[in-house]
Each structure stands twice: as C-alpha cells, then as structure tokens.
Amino acid sequence: MRSHAPDTELTQDMVKAMDWVPAMVWVAGQDAQCRHVNSAWREVTGRSLEECLGSGWLAAMHPDDAAAWPEQISQAIKTLQPFSLECRLRRKDGRYRWFMKTGRPYYNDKDELLGFIGYCTDVTSQKHALDALRQAKEKHRSVLNNLKEAVSIIEDVLRTDEPGPTARGDYRLTPRQREILHLIARGYATREIAVQLHVSVKTVESHRAQLMQRLNIHDVASLTRFAIRNGIVPPDC
C-alpha cells in the first residue's frame, strides 16, 4: 500500500535530466511546496531557482490562480490522482499567458509518495481561438435571431390577403378606435394623438388599452402589423 515517504532531496541526475527537457517541468513535495523547476520554466518566467523554491514559485502565477493552488494540490495529494488545470503565469516580459499545468504523483522504489511532478504547456493561442469562435457563434446566433424575427414580421404581413372593405371596417373596432390605431401605426406618440383628435392623453391611453385587450395584442409593434394587415394604414407608412 502506498504511503508518504520522508522528504528527500532530488538527485543531481534527476535535476540534470529535467534541465534537458524543453518543456517547463516542475516538482512539488508532499507539502505542495516547490522543490524544483527546470531551466525551461526559469527561462520563460525569468525567475531563478532560489526565487521559486518553497512558495516562491506562486509569485509567477496570477494572484487568483495562486490563491486556488493550495486547495487544488491538496486535493490531488488526497486522491493521489493525476490532474490538469489551467492557470496564468507571468513571463519574464511581464505579460501573463495561459498554461495547462499537468501533474502526477511520483514514488520511490518502496512505493512511497515523494510528491508531484509535472509540466506546463502554453495554451494561450488555443484559448484565444476558442474565445473568438465562441464570440463568432454568439454573433451569428444574434444575427440569425434578428433575421428570423424580421422574416416573421414580413411573412405575417404577406400571409393575409390584400385588405379590402371588410378588413378596413373590422367589426371589432369602433370608428374612434380605428382612428387611434391608424395614428399609432403611423408612429404618433400618445400626446400627439391627443392633440390631433382634441381629446385628453388619458382618453387616448384608455382607447389604446381597450384596443390591445380586444385584439389580444400586447405591444405597439404588433398593433402596427395588425393595422397594416387589415388595411387601416398602407404598408409604406
């Protein structure tokens, strides 16, 4: 059964082997503290090995990701499972890049846990590409929805026969209601309609509410479409 071994120093052969690896390799002890980062890691971040040891390597991480790291590595230690997570590392030029940090437990020849060893892969380009694709999809969806709405309005207008005398004299509306509907469809505001018809604003609002209730219509745009379909106003008004 696997257990935790006393913390031991990395051998020179292990250090040399890791420094030959072009990827950014790191080693953490059972306490989640940094025990080594290879030359590729130090080259990218511009930090020396001494600056990285212990908790020093967290200074190269974005503050939000550094704050989350202890809990993430603690969970990995508990489960003794490999893990992969995204984090931001600050390069030596001061700019943050997104990296996929992958780690797995490593053991001695007695099957005792020594800590975690892993590597970091720059995934900034992939994240930007995915973000651009996501934004393009959202924009496409928005354009498509707007187009569908526009087509629906046009079809709604064209679906009816050309309005005739019966439509113009829709029995559900009083002459005053048709008059107010005509002005609403032409774009007149409530106060303007009141002035035009020499009535109060309250009277216009009351007629408009009755119109919507009688026609089961709940917005001005739908009232306008109804007026066009029924010949109360021509389509080009």
Considering the chain, what is the average pLDDT of its residues?
A: 80
**Which positions ≥6 away from 140 have C-beta within 8 Å?**
none
| Number of other CB atoms surrounding residue 195 within 10 Å | 13
162-232 — its CATH code? Answer: 1.10.10.10
The dihedral sign for the CA sequence 172, 173, 175, 179: negative
What pLDDT shows up at residue 5?
Answer: 53
pLDDT of residue 167: 40
- In the chain, CATH 1.10.10.10 covers 162-232
All CATH 3.30.450.20 domain ranges of the chain, comma separated, are: 3-125
3-class SS at 26?
strand
pLDDT digits over 5-41, tens only? 555 567 777 778 888 888 999 998 888 889 999 999 9
What is the CATH topology of the domain spanning 3-125? Answer: Beta-Lactamase (3.30.450)
